[in-house]
Structure formats: structure tokens, C-alpha cells
Amino acid sequence: MTAMGFYRRLGKTKYTVSALCYGVLTIGPTQRDLPLAEGVSLLRYGLELGVNFFDTAEIYGTYPYIRQALKGVTQEVVVSTKSYATTAEEMKRSVEKARKEMDLPTIPLFLLHEQESEATLRGHRGALDYLLEAKEKGLVGAVGLSTHHIAGVRAGAAHPEIEVIHPLYNYKGWGIRDGTAAEMREAIDLARQMGKGIYLMKTLAGGHLSTEPATALSKAAGLPGVSSVAIGMQSEAEICYNLAVLKGETPSPDLEKSVRTRSRCLHIEFWCEGCGRCVERCPFGALSLSNGKAVVRHDLCLTCGYCSGVCEVMALKII
């Protein structure tokens, strides 16, 4: 990717976004839980370096960081959020919560969170109808969905009212619930042909591909039709590194060393289903089940990432 290609139109929406989208989940209360000032400082650092695209969700609890980071900012910033709402009433509450807590009269992108298929999309019809109504009123700029499923991408591609699709993709295919990386690429290309705006999640497989970030990022960002990749970043060095890669530049040796040698640990998300696959896969005996959830012994964990390949819900992350 060249520097000229760093800003891209997001499908047929009116928004032009940076190829690097700041995924705000990692700094919030469910992961690193950074103090507000520290998290805001990182978001502002990204803004200063040209990142104009931020991804969050109602469930992440990160609206306060975005509100503070955007205070006094005059440049166009595209914020995307998501809600699990299924009815119009629920989605109305979600939209108003996002507008109030981020102090944004219009939410640029509002997505239905984790749609699995056409059937799931039909089950969220009330919420989608409200988003379309909110768009007409100027409360929402564009409407879309996020998904970990190939069938979800295909459903969004076929749906004329869905403008943006935020699918899970990494070249290993880790976390894709219903097929392979190649099959997801085919679905993403279909969405491109249908004019959908596409930005990716989990391109580093929740941190499990952090030993080869340049390869993973380049393979994802280079897919036809992809406007941006959302990456969770917890340091200025990570922001600089990802920016360099996505601008087609070679990160300096010092920057490379800083990113690759940063201390990391395995984090287990609250949505872990306790299936036990990770426990069986771990070669070091670092994982076990307790009260229906996976737990990790950090003194035994080598953050090798083997567990991620068998977790269907991407609940295991290296942070």
C-alpha cells in the first residue's frame, strides 16, 4: 500500500477513512482498563498521526474515551459503533446512549453487532428498521453489520439497506465460525462487488499473529475492496508500527524491536463458552476450566497462540 492509498472511500458511503482503524476495545474496561487520561492520550496520538477512524461498541464500555479524545477536534473523524439490539425500541436506546456518551449529534457508522446469517438479520429487523429511520433523521450516517461468519458477510452483501460490513478476517482463518480464510475472502469479494464498504477485524487474530504483524496486516489490507483494518493498540509504538506497515513503509529496527518484545499475556474474554478446546490444545497445561469458563495460569503460559486456533468465538487474546 502506498501513502497515497492510506485514505480510502468506505464503499458507497460518504466517508473516507484511514487504512488503519483504531480498535478501542483493548484500552477499555474489559481488557487493559487504562485510566481515562492514558487511553485518551493514545487515541489523540493516533489522530495526530492521521488516524481518522475509530471502532467501538456499546458493550465495550469505551464511549468515555472517545468523547474525551474528540473534544476540540475539528477534522472529520469517523466513529463506528455496534449494538446487539434486536427491536426498534432497544436500538433507539442504543443510538441515544451512543450519541449522549460520545457527545456526537450523528454517529457516522452504526452496525448490528455479530450477525451470523440471513436468519439472524431477519431476527434483528426491528433494530435495522430503527437504524434506517435514524439515518433519515440524521442521527446515523450509514448502517451496517459486523460478523464472524461467512454467511453473515453474504447476507449483508445481498441486503440493499446494509452499506457497511465489518467481518472477521486473518490469513490463518482463526475465529471464522463457518469456513476457511479462502471462503471468507470470496464472501468479502462478493460484498465488494455489491458496493459494500468493508473494514476488517481480528487481522492479527486477537494478538496471536503479533509475531508476524507486517505479514498479517499486509495480507488483510491488500484484499480487494477493503478500506481499513481495525487494530487494538495499547502503545504509541504499536500505532507507529501499524501506520508504517499500512503506508507501505518499513518500520525502523528500533520500532520493530519495541513492538515484538513488548510484554504480553493471554486474556480470556467474558464471552468464553467454556467448550474446553483450548484446554486440550494447550501444550503447557496453562489452561483449565473453572465455573464453566477457561482460566489461565500466567506462570505457565508462553503466549504461543496455539489455543486461538481452536477457539470458535475468539475469546482468547494476546494483549
Domain that holds residue 278: 266-318
The string of pLDDT tens digits covering residues 113-171 is: 999 999 999 999 999 999 999 999 999 999 999 999 999 999 999 999 999 999 999 99
Give the C-alpha separation, 186 to 175, whole Å. 16
Give the C-alpha separation, 19 to 200, whole Å. 10
- Least Cα distance to 305 among 261, 258, 267 occurs for 267
Same structural domain, 70 and 176? yes
Give the C-alpha separation, 77 to 62, whole Å. 16
Give the C-alpha separation, 183 to 189, whole Å. 10
* Strand pairing report for 20-23 and 53-55: parallel
Task: Dump the DSSP string for 113-150.
Answer: S---SHHHHHHTHHHHHHHHHHHHTTSEEEEEEEES-H
Same structural domain, 295 and 210? no
Angle between the 236-246 and 253-260 helix axes, to the nearest 10 degrees?
120
Percent of residues, the chain, with pLDDT higher than 90: 73
Same structural domain, 16 and 134? yes
Residue 289 has pLDDT above 60, yes or no: yes
What CATH number is attached to the domain comprising 285? 3.30.70.20
Give the C-alpha separation, 91 to 106, whole Å. 15
Same structural domain, 138 and 233? yes
Same structural domain, 228 and 307? no
Residue 1 has pLDDT above 50, yes or no: no
Query: Where residue 11 falls among pLDDT bands split at 50, 70, 90?
Result: very high
Q: How many CA atoms lie within 13 A of 158 on its CB side?
A: 12
- Least Cα distance to 110 among 93, 154, 313 occurs for 93
Same structural domain, 252 and 309? no
N residues, the chain: 319
Query: Where residue 306 falls among pLDDT bands split at 50, 70, 90?
Result: low
Same structural domain, 113 and 50? yes
Asked which of 239, 260, 281 is the last residue of a domain, the reply is 260
Q: What is the mean pLDDT of the chain?
A: 92
Same structural domain, 241 and 312? no
Same structural domain, 270 and 185? no
Asked which of 238, 260, 282 is the last residue of a domain, the reply is 260
Say which range, 266-270, 282-286, 306-310, has the weakest mean pLDDT.
Answer: 306-310
Same structural domain, 202 and 245? yes
Percent of residues, the chain, with pLDDT higher than 70: 96
Query: Where residue 4 falls among pLDDT bands split at 50, 70, 90?
Result: very low
Same structural domain, 302 and 245? no
Q: Phi and psi (nearest 5°) for 112?
A: -75, 125
Determine the average pLDDT of the residues in 246-259.
88
Q: How many domains does the chain have?
A: 2
The string of pLDDT tens digits covering residues 266-279 is: 889 989 999 999 99
The string of pLDDT tens digits covering residues 34-68 is: 999 999 999 999 999 999 999 999 999 999 999 99
Give the C-alpha separation, 228 to 18, whole Å. 6
Reduced to 3 states (helix: H, G, I; strand: E, B; else coil), residue 166 is strand
What CATH number is attached to the domain comprising 242? 3.20.20.100
Residue 208 has pLDDT above 50, yes or no: yes
Give the sign of the dihedral formed by CA 1, CA 17, CA 68, CA 80. Answer: negative
Same structural domain, 212 and 161? yes
Q: Is 121 left (phi over 0), alpha (psi -120 to 50) or beta?
A: alpha
**Would you say 116 and 147 are in contact if contact means Cβ atoms under 8 Å apart?**
yes
Give the C-alpha separation, 276 to 295, whole Å. 10
